[in-house]
Amino acid sequence: MSQTRLAAIDVGNDSVKAIFGEMEREVHLPNIIARDTEDRPVIGIEDLDEKDPADGLHIRIHSPALKENNAIYRVGNLATKASNSTELDPGSSKSEEDQTLVMLLSTIALDAAKAYTSSSNQVIDANYTLGTGLPLREVKEGKDAGYRSKLMGSVHQVEFLVTPQHQGKKINIRFDEAKVYPEGFAAFINLVMDKDLKIINKKLIDKQILIQDIGGLSTDIAVIRNRTVDDDKAQGFNLGVSESLETIREEIFTKHGVELDSRRDVVDIITRKNDRNHIMVKGSRTSVHDTTDRLLLELAKKQYRLLRNVWQKNSQSEICYFVGGGSNVLKEYIKTLNNNLDGYNIEFFEDEKESIWMMANAYYKLVMEYLIKTEDTRKEKKESQPQQS
């Protein structure tokens, strides 16, 4: 068996964030796919190998875990330019969607194409120990076991078609282990443990805290008590930011005739540092503040209502941490509501990257801890065996 390589992957509703090896490589892709044909047209094909493979991810994917096997896709950045691109829909379960697996396996294949070598240089066998997660709602429903079983025990092949630098390569992916964590618990781990697995936030360890994870399609509120998620108290809701982002996109098109490629473009307009809440209309800088403010404030009120209801049922909670990409979008609205209303002890992560990469970093720490414990157990067994004379 080939040596295993660590992969910590957060398949978020907006984008995929992945950390590989000993944190030496990160991959960040929009969670967008589009069905395609084998020969996609490329302008300047002779320059293909000078481009970033992440910007031209064109693959055929074969896996028994997929409902649609051997399908061809544009993935990530390339898919945002396709007229038939798809993003995850509200109400869908991450563990049951082909799109989740397509994104996860494509991201791993991107890493494997550089991290592994083979004699033929065209067929690469890659072994990974994976850390990933699912919303609390899906874990409570037992869907984590089914998701893990899809990954384990099979070979998943990703074939690069018209992809820069990797055209013609086939990556055979096997999982030595796949750890599927509840996202709320992962966020707690990231709060109390650094990348060297040392406790950095001792004051939080024995407190009762809430973690409100606002994603694209859902919101999870984890109640952390005695260093674990209280399964009975934790709640998942089918309320994320995607629907509001889609409505903003539609209103911008209706009012200004500007068609944005994806919800990710809307997020960029809302969160960028310069020209926030502005678009270009026929070459003129135009404000869309009225649209974004109205729809995001409406969503923030719904999120705040969730916080209030959960806190009332867990009155001894000391603080609530807001995490996830949706929290980054709604941060200022929720802060304003809280200041004007109940004044709960809430905390956001001001570092945008820290907030967006929180889950991937948590999965990395959890999987690294698992690998260290596994190696220690192996050594203990070896040392306990009688020595042959």
Q: What percent of the chain has pLDDT over 70?
A: 95
132 and 39 share one domain: yes
| pLDDT grade for 42, boundaries at 50, 70 and 90 | low
Same domain, residue pair 166 and 261: no
Residue 297 included in any domain: yes
* Residue 44, token pair as written in the block: 């300047």
Q: Are 60 and 20 in contact (CB under 8 A)?
A: no
Q: Which residue would you say has higher pLDDT here, 239 or 132?
A: 132
One-letter amino acid at 106 equals S
**243 and 119 in a common domain:** no
Q: What is the CATH number of the domain that holds 131?
A: 3.30.420.40
Domain boundary among 144, 167, 182: 182
In this structure, are 177 and 222 located in the same domain? no
Q: Is residue 285 part of a domain?
A: yes
Q: What is the mean pLDDT of residues 19-23?
A: 94
Residues 248 and 341 in one domain: yes
Exposure string for 258-284, b = 16+ CB within 10 A, e = fewer: bebbbbbbbbebbeeeeeebebeeeee
Query: pTM for the full model?
Result: 0.87
Question: Is it the case that residue 292 has pLDDT exceeding 90?
Answer: yes
Among 113, 130, 106, 128, which residue's Cα sits nearest to residue 15?
106
Is residue 329 in a domain? yes
Same domain assignment for residues 212 and 159: no
Number of domain units in the chain: 2
Residues 150 and 251 occupy one common structural domain: no
Residue 81 shares a structural domain with residue 225: no
Spatial contact of 237 and 218, defined as CB atoms under 8 Å apart: yes
- For residue 193, being part of any structural domain is answered with no
Would you place residue 119 in the very low, low, confident or very high pLDDT band (cuts 50, 70, 90)?
low
* CB burial string 171-187: b at 16+ within 10 A, e below: bbbbbbbbbbbbbbbbb
Query: Phi and psi for 363 in degrees, rounded to 5?
Result: -60, -35
Last residue of a domain, one of 182, 197, 220: 182
More confident residue, 136 or 67: 67
Q: What range does the domain containing 85 cover? A: 5-182
Q: Any idea which of 114-118, 142-146, 178-182, 256-260 has the lowest mean pLDDT? A: 114-118
pLDDT of residue 47: 62
pLDDT 10s digits, 298-336? 999 999 999 999 999 999 999 999 988 888 899 999 999
- Whether the pLDDT of residue 387 is over 70: the answer is no
Q: Are residues 152 and 293 in the same domain?
A: no
pLDDT digits over 256-288, tens only? Answer: 999 988 888 898 899 888 888 999 999 999 999
Using pLDDT thresholds of 50, 70 and 90, give the confidence band for residue 255: very high
- What pLDDT shows up at residue 120? 67
In a domain, 382, yes or no: no
Whether 14 and 144 map to the same domain: the answer is yes
Q: Are residues 32 and 173 in the same domain?
A: yes
Residue 376 falls inside a structural domain = no
Q: What is the mean pLDDT of residues 62-72?
A: 94
Check whether residue 242 and residue 352 sit in a common domain: yes
For residue 1, the model assigns a pLDDT of 41
